[in-house]
Amino acid sequence: MVRSWRRWAAALLVIIFAVCAAGPMRAADRSGEIAALQKQLEQIRQQLSQLDSTVENAEAKKAALEQQSAVLFQQITLMLGNIEDIKTAVAAKQQEVDAKTREIEDTDALFQQRLRAMQLTHVSGALSTLLSVNSFDELLTASTTLSRISQADTELLQRLAEQKTALETQKQELDAQLQELIAQQQALEAKQSELAASILAQDAAIDQAEADKQAKQSEYDATYAAYRAAVDETNAWMSTHYSTDTPYTGSGTLLCPIQEGYFYISSGFGTRSDPFGGGQMEFHNGYDYAGGSGALMGRPIHAAEGGIVTKVEYRTTGYGLKVVIDHGGGLTTLYGHCSKIYVSEGQSVARGEVIAAVGDSGNSTAAHLHFSVFQNGVAQDPGAYLG
């Protein structure tokens, strides 16, 4: 995809160089090319905005996934600690069971010794029956039937057996808890693996969007160069189309071209950032008068001084529909982005006469008037001339 954009940009540069090499043609001769470039510029700005949104959304998704992964990591860490605690408890409980088993075995051995001693002293034949048992459980059952064994010994055996059973039950419960925790741990680790894969996917999406942005920015820069060429052509024309033979007969100060209603200077004379969001710095050779939210649309534009209209021109780019007035003495003024023109080339106009209406033609972000002052073809700060 990047290669295709590079080929496109290279082709566009060829067009730009060809256009620039063709010299200062009239607007009608270049209107088709300029209109196409203007349309491309707007489309690219929209595409760049969409790519910015794509990157922002992908980064937001990645941040959310990373947050979820961090929470899961904490849960897994806590789970591992719980598992170790349960394992320790199981081991301790097993030790208790083993100890209780040994205690029962030791008690059983002592009991057997006592029974043998009773046999040696000729205790009744029932004792022989007791000695014939083969297991502890049989012994416990038989012991209840032997009246000559002390009640204390019988209770001891029962108590030990109950304690062992209780310990074994507790161990089984701990084993069940351990298995449940291990299953939960495995589920959390599986979820974390899924999140890691999703994060990698978002990284890939961000990288692709950034690459697309870079290619699109290169395309924008090339197209913007063509736009600047059109503006520079206008400035070049202004540098050679002024009258020094006709003396300046004005008052010495120019009239503000906007007179009615509220307005303000939205962009002054000098270096500024590209108003279309391309990021480039450009030189702004005049004043932009605006009224907020397009309020100046259709407002009358007045001649800043009396003179002769030397140019009425429409472009789909640059200053759009514009008027140039020669005031004599090398002083000229330009009025750009108009919606209507009320004068024609060669016409004489008076100071304050309505010559056009405010619009948003050409390269314009909203309805406003671009007003430039030239002295001997060189752009001047209008503030030095306005009264």
Q: Are residues 195 and 300 in the same domain?
A: no
Q: pLDDT by residue (tens digit) across 195-251?
A: 888 888 888 888 988 888 888 888 888 887 876 776 677 667 656 665 556 666 666
**How far apart, in whole angstroms, are the C-alpha atoms of residue 194 and residue 269?**
56
Last residue of one domain, picked from the residues 190, 209, 229: 229
Looking at residue 32, what is its pLDDT? Answer: 46
In a domain, 203, yes or no: yes
Q: pLDDT by residue (tens digit) across 116-175?
A: 766 565 445 555 555 665 665 665 565 554 545 556 666 777 787 788 788 788 878 878
Q: pLDDT by residue (tens digit) across 6-52?
A: 443 444 433 333 333 333 334 334 444 555 666 777 788 788 888 88
Rg (CA), the chain: 48
Looking at residue 27, what is its pLDDT? Answer: 39
Q: Are residues 188 and 245 in the same domain?
A: no
CATH number of residue 138's parent domain: 1.10.287
In a domain, 120, yes or no: yes
In a domain, 234, yes or no: no
Q: Are 340 and 253 in contact (CB under 8 A)?
A: no
Sign of CA dihedral 108, 114, 119, 124: negative
Last residue of one domain, picked from the residues 203, 229, 255: 229
In a domain, 96, yes or no: yes
- Cα 304 to Cα 143, 258, 323: the distances in Å are 127, 9, 12
Last residue of one domain, picked from the residues 202, 229, 256: 229
In a domain, 235, yes or no: no
Per-residue pLDDT, averaged over 340-354, amounts to 92
Q: Are residues 89 and 201 in the same domain?
A: yes
The count of domains in the chain is 2
Instruction: Please name the residue that has the structure tokens 């200077």.
Output: 265
What six digits make up the tokens of 199? 């994060």
- Cα 285 to Cα 164, 204, 238, 279: the distances in Å are 98, 44, 12, 18
Q: Are 257 and 289 in contact (CB under 8 A)?
A: yes
Q: Are residues 225 and 253 in the same domain?
A: no
CATH number of residue 295's parent domain: 2.70.70.10
| pLDDT surpasses 60 at 364 | yes
Q: Are residues 316 and 362 in the same domain?
A: yes
Looking at residue 276, what is its pLDDT? Answer: 53
Q: How many angstroms from the chain centroid is the CA of residue 212? A: 15
Q: Are residues 15 and 142 in the same domain?
A: yes
Q: Are residues 210 and 251 in the same domain?
A: no
N-to-C CA span, the chain: 56
**How far apart, in whole angstroms, are the C-alpha atoms of residue 59 and residue 286?**
41
Instruction: Please name the residue that has the structure tokens 């197209």.
Output: 223
Q: Are residues 223 and 255 in the same domain?
A: no
Q: Are residues 38 and 73 in the same domain?
A: yes
pLDDT band, residue 275 (cuts 50/70/90):
low
Q: Are residues 250 and 165 in the same domain?
A: no
What six digits make up the tokens of 3? 């290669």
In a domain, 30, yes or no: yes
Question: For the chain, what is the HEC assignment?
Answer: CHHHHHHHHHHHHHHHHHHHHCCCCCHHHHHHHHHHHHHHHHHHHHHHHHHHHHHHHHHHHHHHHHHHHHHHHHHHHHHHHHHHHHHHHHHHHHHHHHHHHHHHHHHHHHHHHHHHHHHHCCCCCHHHHHHCCCCHHHHHHHHCCCCCCCHHHHHHHHHHHHHHHHHHHHHHHHHHHHHHHHHHHHHHHHHHHHHHHHHHHHHHHHHHHHHHHHHHHHHHHHHHHHHHHHHHHHHHHHHHCCCCCCCCCCCCCECCCCCCCCCEEEECCEEEECCCCCCCEEEECCEEEECCCCCCCCCEEECCCCEEEEEEEECCCCCCEEEEEEEECCEEEEEEEEEEECCCCCCEECCCCEEEEEECCCCCCCCEEEEEEEECCEEECHHHCEC
Range of the domain at 54: 1-229
In a domain, 339, yes or no: yes
Q: Are residues 265 and 148 in the same domain?
A: no
**Which of 321, 319, 233 has the alpha carbon at shortest distance from 26?**
233
**How far apart, in whole angstroms, are the C-alpha atoms of residue 223 and residue 46?**
14
Q: Are 336 and 355 in contact (CB under 8 A)?
A: no
Looking at residue 326, what is its pLDDT? Answer: 93
Q: pLDDT by residue (tens digit) across 58-97?
A: 888 889 888 888 888 888 888 888 888 878 877 887 888 7
Q: Are residues 82 and 52 in the same domain?
A: yes
In a domain, 277, yes or no: yes
